[in-house]
Amino acid sequence: MKAAILAGGQGKRLRPLTNDRPKSLVEVGGRPIIEWQIRWLSRYGVKEFIVCAGYLRERFLDTIGSGARLGVRVYYSIEDEPLGTGGALRNAEGLLRCESGFICINGDILTDLDPTALVEMNGGDAVGVIGLVPLRSPYGIVEESEGVVRGFMEKPQLDHWINAGVYYLTSRIFDYLPQRGDLERDTFPNLAGRGLLRAAKFRDAFWRSIDTYKDIEEVEKELERVPSRATTA
């Protein structure tokens, strides 16, 4: 199975780290985000990757190259101007259309969820399956009763689900992608309205989105505290 990594983001909130590299090449725990991702997915048998790149795309060749160092094959789909996540995936159609289905991930997440669960959820008329993870509160929660503080919960999981940025998509997805636009804002709402999108929930998986310096610091502390939380050795 192949995987597409949507890695065209500039990562403006991570500057100056992203002044000279794409967001997906920012290091977390001494390793670029995209390398964590390739190592994670290769554990599940994914050995061919299409990197959808734009901003400072030449840096991927310097860092990842052909993928031989990681035991995989890496191909590149280049956008000359920002196309959005949907447009970027459409731009890679020539490398993916012949596949019955493929994994697609955002280039700024770290996770250890099992992508085969997405494949298993696919069926019927579904065009794709999106992974869902619990929403974590950005703040600690105070437990209070009758004006008395009973305890504290540090950033607990809330009773809501969010898009994990990990998908299994069939080749039919290319019939719904915009020339320019986003999967999340354009394609997925359209599919959901037609009943063509399914979901797989991952309640206990490790999952973090890397958007700010604080995210990097928190993930690195978590990996130091519980090494097994790393996406792979």
pLDDT tens digits for 91-125? 999 999 888 999 999 999 999 999 999 999 988 88
- The sign of the CA dihedral 66, 70, 72, 77 is negative
């069926």: which residue's tokens?
123
- Structure confidence at residue 209 (pLDDT): 92
pTM > 0.85: yes or no: yes
CA gap 179, 84 in Å, rounded: 9
pLDDT of residue 233: 47
- CA 206 to CA 112: how far, in whole Å? 5
Range with lowest mean pLDDT among 63-67, 141-145, 195-199, 213-217: 141-145
H-run or E-run covering 191: helix 188-193
Indicate which residues carry an active-site annotation. 155
Percent with pLDDT over 90 in the chain: 64
Residue 232: pLDDT above 90? no
Q: Which amino acid is at 139?
A: Y
- As a whole number, mean pLDDT of residues 8-13 equals 84
Cα 146 vs. chain centroid, distance in angstroms?
43
Domains of the chain: 2-132+163-229 (3.90.550.10)
Strands 128-136 and 197-201: parallel
> Do β-strands 128-136 and 157-170 pair in parallel, antiparallel, or remain unpaired?
antiparallel
